[in-house]
Structure 1
Amino acid sequence: MGKNERKINVLDKGYVRHLETFGSDLTVVNNARASYDKESAELTDSDKRLIAFLAREKHMSPFRSPRISFEVYAPLVVARQWWRYAIDSQHIEDGTPWSESSRRYITEKTEFYLPGAGEWRSKPANSKQGSGAPLDEAEGIKWTQALEQVYKDGEVAYEAAMDAGIAPEQARLFLPAYGLMVRWRYTASLQAICHFLDQRLKNDAQKEIYDYAIAVLQIVREDFPISAQHLIEAKGTD
């Protein structure tokens, strides 16, 4: 399997697929030495010690220009957790924080968006996006009732799972959409990815996102073995 064809299966249907890597451990070293107008042609033991020093002393800027792109296919509940780290990375750079309540920690009132009978729309004739004319209200009643039943069934199952002692982070999968598989492409700096890994490879991480972090770690270790060793405290399984 070629370097740009690495794909690691996760859970029953999901995966992490490597798309592209920019840079290497040598890139980190040469970023750090730029202020002294120095450059290494190959990674030496001295360079490895420099990477360890940068990580230990929290000098993060040399780790920001190397980047990795992934394609991820995962349940929505994993995507929502992962999104926090995309926002976290932006917050570091331009101050755009995002905090969201989580049914992993709290049990809040279960509510769903339910379109009214007159709010259903037909699909557009010549476009993949948007919608066409409104449906007849009599037809809309049928779809409102059908969606409402889906919500009710999911809520009943969710409450039963909670009463049975199922972990909230899994019980919420009974609520519509939480277990839906979604696909996205994710590009981030080496620093941002290692921050995500350092957090989601800890023992208290949700099992599902932990499994995805292990897959990402495998790719990061192959492309940045020295940087990964020093940036990630909890390194997961070998």
Structure 2
Amino acid sequence: MKMINVLDKGYVRLVDTLGSDLTVVNAARVSYAKESLELDDKDRKLINFLAREDHTSPFRHAILQFEIYAPLMVARQWWKYIVGSAHQEGVGDSLNAWNESSRRYITEEPIFYIPEKNQWRSKPENSKQGSGEPVEWELGEKYTKSLMEYIDLGERLYNEAMEDGVCAEQARLFLPAYGMYVRWYWTASLQSVAHFINQRIQSDAQKEIQEYAKAILILAKESFPVSLEAISI
């Protein structure tokens, strides 16, 4: 099981895989009652053809399972791929499964993503979303300090509520949500993984989720080097 650290405290861990590049090839060749036992140049050309011509169903027979630890703001962007996976053109009926830790059941120490003073970004000039260049370091220092103070206050109120006997599912209301790390398992077809990578590795995607997309690409390529080369950016 391989893991890549992301951001300040996050990570992506490859838990399991089903299949290989050969799985994609044989899923396509079954139409002609043929099967390859070892990947060769013809098989590589077939994978590239499938990707080029948007014949995506063979890529759904290979599966990857990840454990991800990321701020909630990243998780909720990622979740859109689970909700929309059965409705997006070219990704319809692709396998996606998601199981996430819940503070209704666990009371482990809250962990938060806190940007360093040189990591705060300005709003973009020509868009209503996304970000621009880094802000001045004095401004970044101000907001790193402010965020830490805000988190400290939320944690104190959360702990007080728990000590006073308030249930965990309500006490968590005091925790600053968007920067809090959450952990989940994501199981997805190779096609769905590639779709996520292609969209979230782009320069106009949120910087934090870009870093996770890069980690997913590295880990997925180790198991499916030919297919990922063909269907990802």
**TM-score of the pair, normalised by structure 2:** 0.65
Q: 1:13 aligns with which of 9, 14, 34?
A: 9
CA positional deviation for 1:203: 1.2
In structure 1, what residue type is equivalent to 2:230?
Answer: H
Is 1:214 aligned to 2:214, yes or no?
Answer: yes
Which secondary structure does the structure 1 equivalent of 2:61 belong to?
coil
Deviations 1:129-160 (A, max 9, x none): 879xxxxxxxxxxx9xx95xx8xxxxxxxxxx
| Aligned mates of 1:44, 1:123 — CA distance in 2 | 62
| Aligned mates of 1:177, 1:130 — CA distance in 2 | 13
CA positional deviation for 1:89: 1.6
Identify unmatched segments of 5+ residues in structure 2.
95-127, 131-163
Counterpart position of 1:105: 129
Counterpart position of 1:70: 66
In structure 2, what residue type is equivalent to 1:220?
Answer: A
In structure 2, what residue type is equivalent to 1:105?
Answer: Q
Counterparts of residues 147-226 of structure 1 (less than 5 Å): 147=174, 176-226=176-226
| Aligned mates of 1:93, 1:38 — CA distance in 2 | 25
Aligned residues: 162
In structure 2, what residue type is equivalent to 1:200?
Answer: R
Deviations 1:36-55 (A, max 9, x none): 00000000100000000000
CA positional deviation for 1:93: 2.1
Is 1:37 aligned to 2:19, yes or no?
Answer: no
CA positional deviation for 1:123: 5.4
Counterpart position of 1:26: 22
Deviations 1:93-121 (A, max 9, x none): 29xxxxxxxxx739xxxxxxxxxxxxxx9
**Superposition misfits of 4+ residues, deviation over 3 angstroms:** 121-124
| Aligned mates of 1:197, 1:10 — CA distance in 2 | 15
In structure 2, what residue type is equivalent to 1:84?
Answer: K
| Aligned mates of 1:188, 1:33 — CA distance in 2 | 22
The CA RMSD over aligned residues, in Å, is 2.4
Counterpart position of 2:155: none
CA positional deviation for 1:90: 2.8
CA positional deviation for 1:68: 0.3
Counterpart position of 1:162: none
Counterpart position of 1:227: 227
